[in-house]
Every structure is written in structure tokens, then in C-alpha cells.
Structure 1
Amino acid sequence: MVKIVTDSVSDLPREYIEEYDIKVMNLNIIFGEKTYKDRVDISPNEVFERIKNNDEFPKTSQVTPFEFIETFDELSKDCDEVLAILMSSKMSGTYNSAVIAKNELADRKIEVIDSKGITLGYGLIVIEAAKMAKQGKSLDEIKKRIECMIENIEYLIVFDTLEYAYKGGRISKSQYLISNFLNIKPIVTMKNGEMVVKDKVRGRKKVIKWLTDYIKSNNIDIKDKVIGLNHVNDKEYLEKLKTDIINQFNPKEIIISDVGCTVAAYSGLSAIAIYFEKEA
């Protein structure tokens, strides 16, 4: 039996965590001198409120090697193999912490994979791995499938503002100032494990049309695919995107989640995203 482990940045819906028995390692959210466990001690809404009302900007910190050692040691007592699929190593030290833990437990069958992604984009990969594990697939079979997914998951994340990405050190001041002045909504994707701007849309009303036009113009077939949708503090925006996606493409399954505290710290007070697997 293969046990699947991930970190809280994957933003998995609670029902999937429970149904597929996925172990989630929680990153830390730091306000001043106080540290909170993502989604355990503090919710995304609480993070938004503190940012909005008090202009407090949190820091985040990785899962430690010791935490992974404890978790891997405990899990390996009850299962044959452990597979950890974690957020991009270029955006957090969490992956490196897990590698250290794996090396400390060299006598156990533990694999650690860099998803090269963030939020529900690699959450889809984690869910697929957990589904295969539940079906009794071998570790090699699961690895082969998810390595293919890592290369082919499309991330389309739309930030309403780049203010918080700038404050968090993710983009330059000039990028932020230009986008803010022109009311530009950046379409962000992942490339080699890093966030990059794929395109820019002038004004919020054009965003959803851009997303659906992108799928059409690139002849991407999502009718029989599992896709992911999530949002930051904007359910109405997400519902509009969901309705348009269903009406135009009718995907096999839509997994919906809220963005967690870690990503919310950089995304600002409004964002939506869609994730899907392109053909290999």
C-alpha cells in the first residue's frame, strides 16, 4: 500500500483528503512574533481580515525536516511505501526538508517529488496519486503517471492586484506599479517551478472570456478531464467562471477549493484560477 503525503499549499478540499486518506503537512503563517499552522490555527478569511483591516503582512515558513521525519516514520509503520508530492522547490524549502527526512530514514521506502507547482494545480496531481493508491497501484505506476501530469498541468491564475505579490517579494516594484496604474489583471502560470506572467488583461470583465478563449484557441479538450477551480475571497467570481466552463466545455469532474493561507498571503484579496491537464 502506498501512502500519499502533501503539504497544505496544495489546497485540497477536505472531502478529498478524507476520502483518499491523504496526509497533509501544514506550513506556517507568521504574523509578527506569533506563528500559526496553515488551516489549523488560522483560516484564509482570518488572514484576509488582518491584511485588509490592519495592513499586517504575514510571512510564511516551510515544514521542517524534523516534522517530515516524524511523519514519515509514523506512516511507514502502517504502509509499505510513502510518496510525498510537494509544492515547487523554487518557491519553498518544504521539498528540501522532505528530502532531508527521506535521507535520514534511508531504510524506509520513501519517495519525494517536486510538483513544480502551487495551490490546486498540483493538488490535482496529489488527488490522482491518491486515487491510484486507493486502487492498489504500485509506487512505480503512480510515479510514472504523476511525472507525466507534472509536465502537462496548465496553471492559469488571475490576480486582481499584484500588490501582495510585490510585498511578499514575488515580483518587482516596477511590475506592480505598471499593472496597478493600467488596471491590468495579470494571468500567471508556472514555468519550471516558478510563477511567470503569461498574459495581461485590461479590466476584470475581460478575464473569464480570456480564459475560455484560451482553451478554445489552443484546442484543449477538457470534456473528459478532471479540472480544478479555486479562488481567493471571491466566490461570486468563481461561480461565474464555473458556469461558463460547464456551459462551454462540460468537463468530467470539477474540483473546487478555497485558496489556503499560504498562497493567500501573496495573492491579495481577490483571485481566481483554473487548472487542467493538457495532452502529453
Structure 2
Amino acid sequence: MVKIVTDSVSDLPKEYIEKYNINVIPLKIIFGEEMYKDRVDITPEKVLERIEKNNEFPKTSQITPFEFVEVFDDLTKDGDEVLAILMSSKMSGTYNSALIAKNELSDRNIEVVDSKAITLGYGLIVIEAAKMAKEGKSLDEIKKRAEEMVDKMEYLMVVDSLEYAYKGGRISKTQYVLSNFLNIKPIVTLKDGEMVVKNKVRGRKKVLRWIIEYLESNNINLDDKVIGINHVNDIEYLEKLKSMLVEKFNPKEIVISDVGCTVAVYSGLSAIALYFERED
């Protein structure tokens, strides 16, 4: 049997983790001398609350090779196989840690896939892999499908404010002040494992319209597809996006989650995103 492993940045809803028996290894959130496991010892809400109240900006820490060895060893000791689908290797050393662990256990059947992504977008890849594993598909079949999805996934992520990106040192103060002044909402996507700005829209309402218009103008058909949407601290914004998607399209399944601690550290107090697999 194939066991599916991922990291906490995939932001999978708890019900999917339990339904498909997905093994999730948490990254760490570090406030000074205090270290917490993402979604285990601390919630995204607590992280955001601590940043806002105490102006503390945490660091994040990757999963170590030793942690992967422990998990992989436990899952394969009775002859089972493992497929690990992990966050972008360009954003974290987690993927490389898993490769080291795979080499340490070279006598086991372990495969590692670089999702080239963050958050629920590659969470959809993990869910698809777990569904296939439950159906009894082979390791090679599941890995091939996962790698196909890596190349076809599209990510539309909207950040309401660049405050946390500024606090985390990812943009300059000038960029932050200017975007606030102009009420600019960056729409971010992923390209070759790195985040890039796809467009900039003024105002929250225009963002939702832009997403629908983008899908329609590019002839993107979401009918009868599994799509994902998630949010940071803004369920109302997410519900508006969901309603618009359901009105215009007929998705087979909508996977909904909140963004975990690791990504929320940089996305800020309000963000939403849409993820789907392109047909081409």
C-alpha cells in the first residue's frame, strides 16, 4: 500500500486528512525562544493575534531530515511504500530534507515530489494522490499523476495588505506605503516554484470581478472539476468568491480551508486564493 506524506504548508482541511489517512508533518513557528509546531501547538489565529498585539514577527523553520527519517521509517517498516508531496524547494529546505531521508532509507520504496508551490494548491495534488492510494493504485501511477498536476496547477492568490510582507522584510517600506495609499491588491501566482505578481487591482470588489473575468477570458472551464479556495482571517471574503464561482461554473467539489501559520506569517490579516488544474 502507498502512504501519502505532506507538510503542513499544504493547508489541508482536517476532514480530508482523516478521510484519506494523509500523514502531515508540521513546520515550526518560532517566536524568540519559543517554538511551536504549525497547526499542532499553535493555530493561525493565535499567530496573527500575537503579531498584532505584541508586534512580534515569528520565523519559520523547515522539517529536518531526521524528522523525515522517523516518519518514513515508521510508514515503510511493514513493507508499505511512501509518496511525499512537499512545498516548493525554492521556498524551503523541506524538500531537500526529505531527499536526504529517502537516501538514508535507500532500501525502502520512497518517492519525493517537489510541488513547486505553497498552500492548498498543492494540497489538491496531495488529496488526489491520497484518493488514488485508497483505490489501490501503484506508487508509479500516483507519482506520475502528481507530477502531471504539478505542471498544470494554477494559483490565484490575493493579498489584502502588504503589511506582513513589509514586516517580514520581503518588500521595502516605499512599496508598502504606496500600495496602501493606492488601495492596491496584488494578485500573486506561482511560476517555477516561486511567487510572482500576476496583476494588481485597486479595491477588494474589483479583485473578485477580475478573477471571474480572468477565468472567462482565458476560457478556463471549472465545470465538474475539483477546485480549492482558502483564506486568512476573512471567511466572508471567501464566501463571496465561492458564491461567484458556483454561479458562473459548476465545480464537482470545492475544497475549502484556512491558510496555516507558515503562509499566514507573510500573507497578513486578510487574503483569499483560488486553485485549479488547467486542462492544457
Match of 1:180 in 2: 180
Q: CA separation in 1, counterparts of 2:49 and 2:277?
A: 34
* Aligned: 1:111 with 2:135: no
Structure 2 CA distance, aligned partners of 1:171 and 1:107? 45
CA apart distance, 1:172: 4.4
Match for residue 234 of structure 2?
234
Segments of structure 2 that go 5 or more residues without pairing to the other structure are: none
- 1:173 is displaced (CA, Å) by 4.4
| Corresponding pairs, count | 280
Matched position secondary structure for 1:113:
strand
Distance in structure 2 (CA, Å) of the matches to 1:176 and 1:114: 31
Native 8 Å contact 1:2 1:79 kept in 2: no
Matched, 1:243 2:247: no
What SS does the corresponding residue of 1:70 show, helix, strand or coil?
helix
Q: Distance in 2 between matches of 1:176 and 1:163?
A: 7
Match of residue 216 from structure 1: 216
Q: Deviations over 1:215-260 (max 9, x none)?
A: 1010001101100000000000001111111011121100000100
* TM-score, normalised with respect to structure 1: 0.98
Query: SS state of the match for residue 45, structure 1?
Result: helix
Q: Which residue of 2 aligns with 1:9?
A: 9
Amino acid corresponding to residue 143 of structure 1 in structure 2? K
- In the TM superposition, what whole-angstrom CA distance separates every residue of 1:18-41 from its partner, at most 9, and x where no partner exists? 010000000000011100000010
Written as runs of structure 1 = structure 2, the 5 A alignment for 1:59-208 is 59-208=59-208
Cα deviation 1:181-224 (Å, max 9, x = unaligned): 21100000000000100000011121110111111010001101
Letter aligned with residue 90 of structure 1: K
Deviation at 1:177, TM superposition (A): 3.4
1: distance between equivalents of 2:172 and 2:145? 36
Shift of 1:78: 3.5
Query: What letter is aligned with 2:277?
Result: E
What is residue 268 of structure 1 aligned with on the other side? 268
Separation of aligned partners in 2, 1:173 and 1:87: 28
Between 1:47-56 and 1:190-199, the stretch displaced more is 47-56
**TM-score calculated relative to the size of structure 2:** 0.98
C-alpha distance in 1, partners of 2:81/2:175? 44
Q: 1:27-77 CA deviation, whole Å, 9 max, x = no partner?
A: 000011100000010001101111111111111000111000000000002
Give the match for residue 40 of structure 2.
40
% identity of equivalent residues: 76
**1:180 shift after superposition:** 2.2
- Cα RMSD (Å): 1.1
Q: Structure 1 residue runs of 4+, over 2 Å off?
A: 166-178
CA distance 1:175–1:148, change in 2 (3 Å): farther
**CA–CA separation in structure 2 for the residues paired with 1:170 and 1:120:** 22
Contact 1:3 1:79 in 2 (8 A): no
